[in-house]
Amino acid sequence: MPTFPNHALPLKGIKVVEIGQNIAGPYASEILSSLGADVVKIERPEGGDDARGWGPPFWRGTATTFQAMNHGKRSLALDLKDAESVAWLKSYIGEADVLIQNLRPGVLEDLGLGPTALCAANPRLIYCSLWAFGHKGPMHLHPGYEPMIQAFAGMFSVNGAEDGPSSRVGMQVLDLGTGIWAALGCLAALFQRQATGSGCVVDTSLFETAMGWLQVMMAGFKATGQQPERHRSGNPRVVVFQAFQASDGEVVIAAANDRLFAKLVKALGHPEWASDLRYASNALRVEHKRDIVPAIQAILATQPMNHWIDLLEAVGIPCAPIHDFQQVIDQPQTQAIGIFQDVPEIDLQVVGLPVSFNGVRPPIRHRAPEIGEHNASIRPDRS
């Protein structure tokens, strides 16, 4: 299997300082670390990043949340209540390429570590902040966590079953998404710096990420004024495009255009539905989904899931079973792409960086650090 030489990592030689905790900020810097940057994570001497305790589950005494978000970094324990330590940190950031921070709004500014001060001291610095609600506006100083931002941004209102309560998206879609936007912003700023010689300030937030994920629905609402309907597994704009209950499990069918719909209903033994005036176009199927969806469901309930998957795949209709995590891990496709990677030293596998270069995924170089593990190598004068 091909390997990725360390000297070929795209961000080798880039120095990143992370003053972050929980998920969004650490994920942004982990992306940069996975791409080859040297990331130094600043942590409180007592307790470190709050995510260290976000368990169970724990692995080797540290929450798996922290293990997943912080491998490949170095940790420096630093008391930001100590003026000498803050002065040292300001000097250290003066030699960095990127600063990523997601502390409570206003904390770093009060310490003299805000973007104005640090970018004046180091004009090549890319100063990246991850906020809850955004870097300006009446709520820019409000703290926030994933569920409350999902609620505030309207994501709850479009998630859940049609006849049930609204619901959050089950994983940290805003934390992780904001981390991705932050990393993307830093990469763009690094590219721009090559041309201009100057860094810049990058801002993103969980709220902006939520609005980005909702952009298709928001465009529809702006056009019609109608709140999107909730669908347990379906889509308010496309029919047939949802999960159906077979006799032994659920299968998602994505007949996303008229050609696929015609193939689907022929496979189900009802080719006449393709020419039925109620179902002749996607817009009509959306209008009459309360007729066509139950009719399809009644047929699918008569046979097991694999029967339908084999039948539909044979005629080119996109479909998939609903897997649990173990079934995902066991899939040959999962094994083929090598998305799970071993974390050195701790016998744990985590999901690697979801991108490859020349066919090779960058490796996990080392485990998540202990609190202050690298104090001596980063501040040898204090060892």
> What pLDDT, on a 0 to 100 scale, did the predictor assign at position 274?
95
> What pLDDT, on a 0 to 100 scale, did the predictor assign at position 8?
78
Same domain, 158 and 296: no
pLDDT in tens, 184-212: 999 999 999 999 999 999 999 999 999 99
pLDDT in tens, 23-36: 999 999 999 999 99
Same domain, 311 and 356: no
If you ran DSSP here, which 8-state letter would residue 312 be given? H
Please give the angle made by the CA atoms of 82, 84 and 87, to the nearest 5 degrees.
110
Same domain, 260 and 185: no
**Banded model confidence at residue 383, pLDDT cuts 50, 70, 90:** low
Does residue 249 have a pLDDT over 60? Answer: yes
Same domain, 281 and 358: no
If you ran DSSP here, which 8-state letter would residue 227 be given? P
Question: Average of pLDDT values for 131-137?
Answer: 93
| Start-end of H helices in the chain | 24-34, 64-70, 83-93, 107-110, 115-121, 146-153, 173-196, 206-213, 215-224, 258-267, 282-287, 289-300, 305-314, 325-330, 332-337, 375-378
**Is pTM, for the whole model, over 0.85?**
yes
Question: Average of pLDDT values for 229-253?
Answer: 89
Same domain, 307 and 372: no
Closest CA to 262 of 270, 250, 253: 270
Q: Is residue 223 part of a domain?
A: no
Buried b / exposed e across 143-155, counting CB within 10 Å, b at 16+?
A: ebebebbbebbbb
Q: Which of 295, 321, 347 is the last residue of a domain?
A: 321
Same domain, 48 and 174: yes
* Domain span holding position 261: 241-245+250-321
Give the mean pLDDT of the chain: 93
> What pLDDT, on a 0 to 100 scale, did the predictor assign at position 213?
95
Tokens of 364: 């996990």
Q: Is residue 84 part of a domain?
A: yes
Q: Which of 269, 287, 321 is the last residue of a domain?
A: 321
Going 181 to 182 to 185 to 191, the CA torsion angle's sign is negative
Which residue type does 160 have? G
**Banded model confidence at residue 6, pLDDT cuts 50, 70, 90:** low
pLDDT in tens, 46-57: 999 999 999 999
Tokens of 360: 């090779």
Does residue 76 have a pLDDT over 80? Answer: yes
Same domain, 75 and 157: yes
Q: What is the CATH number of the domain that holds 144?
A: 3.40.50.10540
**Banded model confidence at residue 292, pLDDT cuts 50, 70, 90:** very high
pLDDT in tens, 308-344: 999 999 999 999 999 989 999 999 999 999 999 999 9
> What pLDDT, on a 0 to 100 scale, did the predictor assign at position 231?
79
Calpha distance 196→194 (Å, rounded):
6
pLDDT in tens, 351-368: 998 999 888 999 999 999
Q: How many domains does the chain have?
A: 2
Going 109 to 112 to 113 to 114, the CA torsion angle's sign is positive
Question: Average of pLDDT values for 145-167?
Answer: 88
Q: Is residue 111 part of a domain?
A: yes
Buried b / exposed e across 337-362, counting CB within 10 Å, b at 16+?
A: eebebebeeeebebebbeeeeeeebb
Is 321 in a helix, a strand, or coil?
Answer: strand
Calpha distance 163→286 (Å, rounded):
18
Share of the chain above pLDDT 70, in %: 98
